[in-house]
Amino acid sequence: MKKLFLILAFAGLCLSNAEAQKKIPHTYRLVGESKARRTEITLPQVKGYNVYKGDFHIHTTYSDGGVNPDSRVTEAWYDGLDIIAITDHYENRKGERNFFKVVAPYNEDGKPTKYLGGNAKNGIKADFNAIHNEAATKLEKSGIPMLLIKGCEMARNNNTHGHFNCLFLKDINTVYDPDMAKAFRKVKEQGGLIIHNHPGWRRKTSDKTEFHNQVYNEGLIDGVEVVNGLSFYPHIVRRCIDEKLAMFANTDIHSTTYANYGSIGLHRTMTLVLAKDLTEKAVKDAILKRRTIAYAGGSLIGEEEWLSEFLNAAVDCRLVRVDEKKGSRLFTITNMSSITYKLRRGKTVYTLEPFKTITYSFGKDKEKKKYLAPKFTIENMWHADFKHPVIELKLDK
């Protein structure tokens, strides 16, 4: 027994020495994998159209944003988007002013290069196409399947003119003009579209100004932001319907989207575009034909027809039981999308979360003695005049 004890003690001592002699690594990776994940937002096909998620109002460090163009591409991809338009300001070039200060030591006199800015006297000195190309290069190298639309934002006095995004441009540098209406005509000559941005921002009314009447009546405006960031402009929905304009919801993002949305548990604001495919031609056609739905803060805003079609495509409604004695029918309602819907029946609101199912019974009409259809007021959908649509769910086989 004593000999066995000595053998075991000697073996333990050898093992201990071996452990002590193990080489301590210079660097030890604590996590073996650190690949970022894209947030997939599942949406239905609607009447044969794919639903693409787009943000048509984005700023970078080249104007007054805090993120560079190639990072905007990566950010949008991880946020689940399919389409983006980088729309740096034509006139507000804060990023350039700061850059000139940083590189001042490169100049012989050590003073910052004089910032000329964008105005009637000096014109535009920045190369806006280069901003777009920087993002396009990122897309090409990364292989990210996203559509990048060439654009910019024009801004004048908000009380008289306001801000407008110019999209689908061929050459951003050539559309500037001190006369904003003339600039818009140049955009149209390139086959571009013009979106009226945040029409309720810093204004106490949604009424048009003299300039607005001029460019709207001339047919230069193709759409309006009914939502900018998380600000909803209810009166603009009626304008879009009456004047046959596309509805947009855009972030107008200057900081990171996580700071504005992810940190509070929201998908970023986006425009849902119902298009045949993810091409510039198809997306442009969808906008011109007003197949868009604004999505922000968990709410959907648009024309009543498209809201109804969208919900019925996203929700699977099935009749599972008929109780003739009680005069009722039981339905299962399954949400097949990544969006939550608020269904109100009477005074009760039912929350239909993504990929969840609820059951609901409908009785008979007391006068007609016929079974009631599965119909709800959708509390997180808005159409004209600040109203929620009442939508009848179609039965799925």
Residue 349 placed within a domain = yes
Q: At what angle do helices 128-142 and 69-78 cross, to 10 degrees?
A: 50
Residue 7 placed within a domain = no
Give the domain-ending residue among 243, 270, 302: 302
Closest CA to 154 of 73, 57, 72: 57
Task: Give the chain's residues under pLDDT 50.
Answer: 120
Number of folded domains that form the chain: 2
- Output the pLDDT for position 120: 46
- Output the pLDDT for position 284: 98
My answer on whether 281 and 321 are in the same domain is no
Single-letter amino acid, residue 345: R
My answer on whether 286 and 351 are in the same domain is no
My answer on whether 139 and 195 are in the same domain is yes
Residue 10 placed within a domain = no
Distance between CA atoms of 269 and 47, rounded to whole angstroms? Answer: 23
Cβ atoms of 375 and 393 closer than 8 Å? yes
Q: Answer positive or negative: Cα dihedral of 258, 249, 225, 186.
A: positive
Residue 11 placed within a domain = no
Convert 297-312 to b/e letters by CB count within 10 Å (16 or more is b): bebbbbbbebbbbbbb
Give the domain-ending residue among 240, 268, 302: 302
- Output the pLDDT for position 124: 67
My answer on whether 298 and 356 are in the same domain is no
My answer on whether 298 and 323 are in the same domain is no
DSSP-derived 3-state class of residue 72? helix
My answer on whether 56 and 164 are in the same domain is yes
E strand or H helix at 248: strand 246-250
Residue 19 placed within a domain = no
Single-letter amino acid, residue 394: K
Angle at 139 between CA 137 and CA 145, to 5 degrees: 155
- Output the pLDDT for position 224: 98
In terms of residue numbers, what domain contains 370? 316-392
Which alpha helices (H) appear in the chain, and where do they start and end? Answer: 2-20, 69-78, 94-102, 128-142, 180-189, 210-217, 234-242, 257-260, 280-288, 304-314
- Output the pLDDT for position 367: 86
My answer on whether 270 and 363 are in the same domain is no
Instruction: Please give the C-alpha separations between residue 389 and each of 117, 292, 311, in angstroms, as whole numbers.
Output: 47, 16, 11
- Output the pLDDT for position 20: 58
Residue 397 placed within a domain = no
- Output the pLDDT for position 110: 86
Distance between CA atoms of 369 and 341, rounded to whole angstroms? Answer: 30
As beta bridge partners, residue 267 has none
My answer on whether 201 and 330 are in the same domain is no
Give the domain-ending residue among 302, 335, 351: 302
My answer on whether 290 and 328 are in the same domain is no
My answer on whether 370 and 241 are in the same domain is no
Instruction: Please give the C-alpha separations between residue 19 and each of 13, 15, 23, in angstroms, as whole numbers.
Output: 10, 6, 9
Distance between CA atoms of 192 and 188, rounded to whole angstroms? Answer: 5
Convert 70-93 to b/e letters by CB count within 10 Å (16 or more is b): bebbbbbbbbbbbbbbbbbbbbbb
Residue 148 placed within a domain = yes
pLDDT in tens, 170-191: 999 999 888 999 999 999 999 9
My answer on whether 158 and 243 are in the same domain is yes
Residue 106 placed within a domain = no
pLDDT in tens, 87-142: 999 887 777 777 777 778 888 898 887 776 655 455 667 889 999 999 999 999 99
Q: Report the CATH number that the domain containing residue 199 is assigned in CATH.
A: 3.20.20.140
Backbone angles phi, psi at 294, to 5 degrees: -85, 135
Q: Answer positive or negative: Cα dihedral of 348, 268, 224, 315.
A: negative
My answer on whether 97 and 241 are in the same domain is yes
Exposed / middle / buried, residue 249 (Cβ in 10 Å: 0-12, 13-18, 19+): buried
Residues ≥6 apart with Cβ < 8 Å to 119: 91, 178
Distance between CA atoms of 368 and 94, rounded to whole angstroms? Answer: 67
Q: Answer positive or negative: Cα dihedral of 333, 335, 340, 341.
A: negative
**Number of residues that this document lists for the chain:** 397
